[in-house]
Amino acid sequence: MKSILLVAVITLGAAISLAQAQSSTPSTIKDPIATSLRGMLPRSQSNTVGALEAMPADKYSYKPTPDQMTFAHLAAHIAEANNFFCSKVADVPAPKVDEAKDTDSKDQLVAAVKASYAFCSDALSKMDDSKLGDNVELFGGQKFPRGGAALRLAGAWADHYAAAAMYLRLNGILPPSAQQKK
């Protein structure tokens, strides 16, 4: 858990630095957390969807060890996590969708993840930093500051792509972020 939060803090820090570097007056960035999440979303989406598309359909049942989840389960989890965290962070209702299942086809799972990123894009477009101190219910009824949920979202994006990249590499496939730019 601590490593996920550290990744999230580092990732958010880098995104804030990027946003500041692109601004002519860094101290005037409105809503730095919401702005940073919106800035991070396209890269997360591109890499994660790219990883899901790169894995052959017959490898969606692959799992590195008996105790780990299948690649299909990871894809379903990504869709669910995106919908859950983006609704909590942006204070908007989660979309009414059929839950993605690890028994779904590759095409269905990729479509569910794409839809979850589209939901995140829409939800985060409505977000500002004014409610980051409000409590939200996350896991098992536990309350967390909305700002903490924002960090968990950023960490989840990094963690999920890292897991997908590992599964690809274990199958001899180069993940999207490791491929040379065209």
Better pLDDT: 28 or 117: 117
- Percent helix, strand and coil across the chain, each to the nearest 5: 65, 5, 30
What distance in Å separates the CA atoms of residue 85 and residue 94, rounded to the nearest whole number? Answer: 9
Give the burial class of 182: count Cβ atoms within 10 A of its Cβ; 0-12 exposed, 13-18 middle, 19 or more buried. Answer: exposed
Angle between helices 146-170 and 71-90 (to 10 degrees): 160
SS3 52: helix
Residue range 117-140: average pLDDT?
A: 95
pLDDT at residue 1 is higher than 80? no
Q: Which domains does the chain have, with CATH numbers?
A: 2-178 (1.20.120.450)
What distance in Å separates the CA atoms of residue 97 and residue 79, rounded to the nearest whole number? Answer: 10
pLDDT score recorded for residue 139: 86
What distance in Å separates the CA atoms of residue 78 and residue 122, rounded to the nearest whole number? Answer: 17
Taking the mean position of all CA atoms in its chain, how far away is CA 4? 12
Cα–Cα–Cα angle for 47, 51, 69, nearest 5°?
A: 120
pLDDT score recorded for residue 4: 45
SS3 181: coil
3-47 tens-digit pLDDT: 444 444 445 455 554 554 455 455 678 899 999 999 999 999 999
Give the burial class of 150: count Cβ atoms within 10 A of its Cβ; 0-12 exposed, 13-18 middle, 19 or more buried. Answer: buried
Please tell me the pTM assigned to this model: 0.84
How long, in residues, is the chain? 182
The token pair that represents 46 in the structure block: 């591109």
Residue range 92-100: average pLDDT?
A: 95
pLDDT score recorded for residue 9: 47
pLDDT score recorded for residue 124: 97
What distance in Å separates the CA atoms of residue 144 and residue 148, rounded to the nearest whole number? Answer: 6
pLDDT score recorded for residue 11: 52
pLDDT score recorded for residue 26: 57
Residue range 63-70: average pLDDT?
A: 96
136-151 tens-digit pLDDT: 999 888 999 999 999 9
Cβ neighbours for 174, distance < 8 A, ≥ 6 positions apart = 168
Residues of the chain with pLDDT > 90, as a percent, come to 79
pLDDT at residue 157 is higher than 60? yes
Average pLDDT value for the chain: 89
What distance in Å separates the CA atoms of residue 129 and residue 158, rounded to the nearest whole number? Answer: 21
pLDDT score recorded for residue 13: 52
pLDDT score recorded for residue 182: 74
